[in-house]
Structure 1
Amino acid sequence: MKVLFANKFFFRNGGSEVVMFDEMELMRRRNVDVVEFSMNDDRNIPSRFQSYFVSRKSYRASSRREKLRSALSFIHSSEAVSQITRLIRDEKPDILHCHNIYHQLTPSIVTAAAEMGVPVVLTLHDYKPVCPVYTQLSNGQVCTRCGDGAFETILARRCADGSLGRSALLWAEARYHALLGSYHRVGKFIAPSKFMYEAIVRRFGADKVVHIPNGIDASRIDTSVGDDGYALYFGRLSPEKGVEDLLKAHATAQGAWRLVIAGTGPLFDELRRKYPAAEFRGHLMGIDLERTIREAGVIVVPSVWHENSPLSILEAMAHGKPIVASRIGGIPELVRDGTTGLLFDPGDVVQLSEKVRTLLVDRSRREVFGRNARKTVENEYSLEEHGATLLSLYEDLIASVGLHRKVGS
């Protein structure tokens, strides 16, 4: 079998890339040929298929003509279609597995592959097919009005940061791909959470969507023994992550517990200025991030948007850490209230502060929750099991479309 993986970034930029690189390695270990398609970038991991990658796009044009050209390529990339068509002709993959393809690659590559007889799998890392702004947030509030494919709400409510121009562009993108049926060309959507599954089934139907949880190789992570008794948030510092709610909770606690923030993002400078009592460590990776997680007493995930299946939670659980998290989206599927952690109502600063303090003053309870979390990851979120399920999906999809020989042979 030969599988073509597509993602707009070919370096570990975020969760979608981590999942994809893990899957590619799993496939190679099962003697599956792996082909790669992405965007050129100085940060890319080397690939022998780099000559097929599209040129780098930033969408920060200055002139009106450049802005128009960028807007059009944002919706449909003729370069991406041309390059992936050439790649499919040359490599003859059995299946295309898309991850984060929006804007720089565009869903037009789905249509291109389908028209060449290549079945397509799309892993859902966010809500893009049912929400033009990805997050199911409108002006800071949870919103699912576009879930059935009627996207006009984005114009009426200016969901893209209150900007009519950006909202209109995202509406045009959604309408264009609805008209072309780009997403309907997907053979199977993979929903990492049951919550995501229900959101996508609403538009595309149950026969198009399959729930496959993300996996993690817990054997590579040693369970932490003891901790330094602080609360840790690690991840992107952006509004939907609810980090300011956590910082407010810490401020109102007036030094009752210690808070460490690891990560960067658009809110970094503002939050560091407003909340000097917290420890901001910036972007951590590798050994530094491992040590910071290992020494934490509790991991906090204060999101205010419909999180899908955060890898940060699986990583924390693999370390044997208890978690305090928002009761929203797919989070309660991972964090079992009273067993592996504690849940609170999103945006409730008082509840959040109480839950964190409850665990930080009770080391024995932290240890019990941590052991339960590690056991849950090992039993239910095995990376090897994820790979086996994925391979079975590929085989079933290829068989269902009658593709028993290589495309173009």
Structure 2
Amino acid sequence: MRILMLTQFYHPAIGGEERHVRDLAGFLVGRGHHVAVATVWRDGLPEREVDQGVRIVRIKGLTQRWRGLFTDPNRTHVPPFPDPGLTAALWRVIASERIEVVHAHNWLLHAFLPLKRANGPRLVVTLHDLSLACVTKSAIHRGETCSGPALRKCAACAADHYGAAKGSITLAANWMSGGLERRLVDRFLPVSAAVAVGNRLVDGPTPWEVVPNFVRDDVASPGGAGDERLAGLPREPFILFVGDLRRFKGVAVLSRAYAGLEGAPPLVLIGRNCPDTPTQWPSNTHVFHDWPHDAVMHAWSRSLAGVLPSIGPEACATVLMEGMASGRPMIATRVGGNPDIVHHDVNGLLVRPGDSDGLAQAIAALAADEGLRSRLAAGARRTVKAFMASSVGPRIEAVYRDVLDHRRPAPATAAGIGFGDLCLPGAGGEDGG
């Protein structure tokens, strides 16, 4: 099979989604498939290279040329509408690589929508978040879980998140593009039942099935043991948080919970600084930024337990799987896809989101009870087998085969616009998209 992955960021960018796409691409190459990845070009990186047998093509769009639109020049996000530059680049990649299946993982899929043809590549979309229904992708409104979309409410959230002008454009584009996605995508793959419900796929027009994120089978055997960053870790076992250091991930709740504990193990946080990252932390807290994946996995092997206190609907947290693969019990909040992975008192502990007292009690219980830790660690090792590449990868292959065997006709028009008018000349046909 000839497969093209679409992802706005890719290795060496750091993040769970980026790692998922790289691991999936590598798994598919190992199974004998031809795999290419189209991703947004970044300064200092080649336009084309081969990474572990995967052909990487970095493409440029018009929006990426306006660096002032982005707070981080190294993360020039793709808009929720077709960027003509990206669409033209994708057309060339699809033709030259003779692609049969396009597998999109985020808003870069919008650049492919004008190229969608009934006799062209099939389109599979993994939903890693709530972007199909929520312009901020998180379904958080004023610090609480959102009750559902509404024009005035969504406009306010978009303005707060992106700025007034950018927010209104992004909101309108995402609503319009969402309708096109539901008509043109051949199969949605939400990473959890919570993502399926949050994106309103249930009883919708597009076929879908839950396929979770996964980790490599050998994820708990990393290289890089001599990484100098590891010297900064506490010598004694510690409680470990890995992820973006942002409010959505519950780091402020974790800080309050830990500050109220006496004699607790050290707290270690490894993640990316964000605009809402706290500037002060309790004593005995160690904060590290932008570590490579191998170093993070070594940190897991030295930890006592892991914690993910997200306050919003976490989609399907790979970090929970990585901690469990390392044989560590996990403390997580009972939101989103977390309960699909962490089963209370079986492989970890679940607490209510935003409950700093409950979180503190869970940390204290694991720190004080070695027998509890050992029992939950054994449960973690058993559970994580279902979230490894050898279990999840073949399910994705089966989806590819199914969408090729049961082609879903693409509508001739959308929102009154003929797709032939949007495409480049000659973009139709078996190889052209």
Structure 2 length-normalised TM? 0.81
| Structure 2: distance between partners of 1:92 and 1:332 | 40
The aligned length equals 389
Question: Does the alignment pair 1:10 with 2:13?
Answer: no
Task: Point out where structure 2 has 5 or more consecutive residues left out of the alignment.
Answer: 70-75, 223-234, 410-428
Aligned to 2:183: 184
CA deviations 1:24-76 (Å, max 9, x no partner) are 111112211112211111465852666662258275428xxxxxxx9996633
Shift of 1:212: 1.0
One-letter amino acid of the counterpart of residue 75, structure 1: F
Give the aligned CA root-mean-square deviation in angstroms.
3.0
Question: Does the alignment pair 1:85 with 2:87?
Answer: no
Correspondence for 2:349 among 327, 336, 342: 342
Question: Does the alignment pair 1:373 with 2:372?
Answer: no
Shift of 1:354: 0.4
One-letter amino acid of the counterpart of residue 348, structure 1: D
One-letter amino acid of the counterpart of residue 107, structure 1: H
Question: Does the alignment pair 1:293 with 2:317?
Answer: no
What are the equivalent positions in structure 2 for 1:9-408 lying under 5 Å apart?
Answer: 9-11=9-11, 12-42=13-43, 44=45, 47=49, 53-55=59-61, 57=64, 60-61=67-68, 75-100=81-106, 102=107, 105=108, 107-114=110-117, 117-146=120-149, 151-156=151-156, 160-161=160-161, 163-178=163-178, 181-202=180-201, 205=204, 207-221=206-220, 228-266=236-274, 271-378=278-385, 380-401=386-407, 406-407=430-431
**Quick check: 168-177 or 120-129, which moved more?**
168-177
Shift of 1:125: 1.0
Aligned to 1:65: none
**Quick check: 191-200 or 79-88, which moved more?**
191-200
One-letter amino acid of the counterpart of residue 32, structure 1: H
One-letter amino acid of the counterpart of residue 267, structure 2: L
Structure 1 length-normalised TM? 0.86
1:193 touches 1:213 (CA, 8 Å); kept in 2? yes
Shift of 1:294: 1.1
Shift of 1:190: 0.6
Sort the Cα spacing of 1:188 and 1:298 in 2 relative to 1 into closer, same or farther, 3 A. same
1:120 touches 1:188 (CA, 8 Å); kept in 2? yes
Shift of 1:183: 4.1
CA deviations 1:163-206 (Å, max 9, x no partner) are 44343122122233146x14421111111112112223446727
Shift of 1:107: 1.2
Aligned to 1:67: none
2:255 touches 2:282 (CA, 8 Å); kept in 1? yes
Which protein is richer in helix relative to its size? 1
| Structure 2: distance between partners of 1:398 and 1:251 | 54
Sort the Cα spacing of 1:288 and 1:402 in 2 relative to 1 into closer, same or farther, 3 A. closer
| Structure 2: distance between partners of 1:408 and 1:278 | 54
2:37 touches 2:57 (CA, 8 Å); kept in 1? no
Aligned to 2:422: none
Shift of 1:276: 4.3
2:193 touches 2:337 (CA, 8 Å); kept in 1? yes
Of the two structures, which has the highest relative contact order with CA contacts closer than 8 Å and spacing of 6 or more? 2
**Quick check: 133-142 or 351-360, which moved more?**
133-142
Sort the Cα spacing of 1:204 and 1:71 in 2 relative to 1 into closer, same or farther, 3 A. farther
2:127 touches 2:190 (CA, 8 Å); kept in 1? yes
1:121 touches 1:187 (CA, 8 Å); kept in 2? yes
1:133 touches 1:170 (CA, 8 Å); kept in 2? no
| Structure 2: distance between partners of 1:354 and 1:395 | 48
Sort the Cα spacing of 1:41 and 1:164 in 2 relative to 1 into closer, same or farther, 3 A. closer
Sort the Cα spacing of 1:318 and 1:109 in 2 relative to 1 into closer, same or farther, 3 A. same
1:5 touches 1:37 (CA, 8 Å); kept in 2? yes
Shift of 1:382: 2.6
Query: Secondary structure in 1 aligned to 2:287?
Result: strand
Task: Point out where structure 1 has 5 or more consecutive residues left out of the alignment.
Answer: 63-69
Q: Percent identity?
A: 21
One-letter amino acid of the counterpart of residue 99, structure 1: H
Query: Secondary structure in 2 aligned to 1:214?
Result: coil
Query: Secondary structure in 2 aligned to 1:93?
Result: coil
2:118 touches 2:407 (CA, 8 Å); kept in 1? no
Shift of 1:290: 2.5
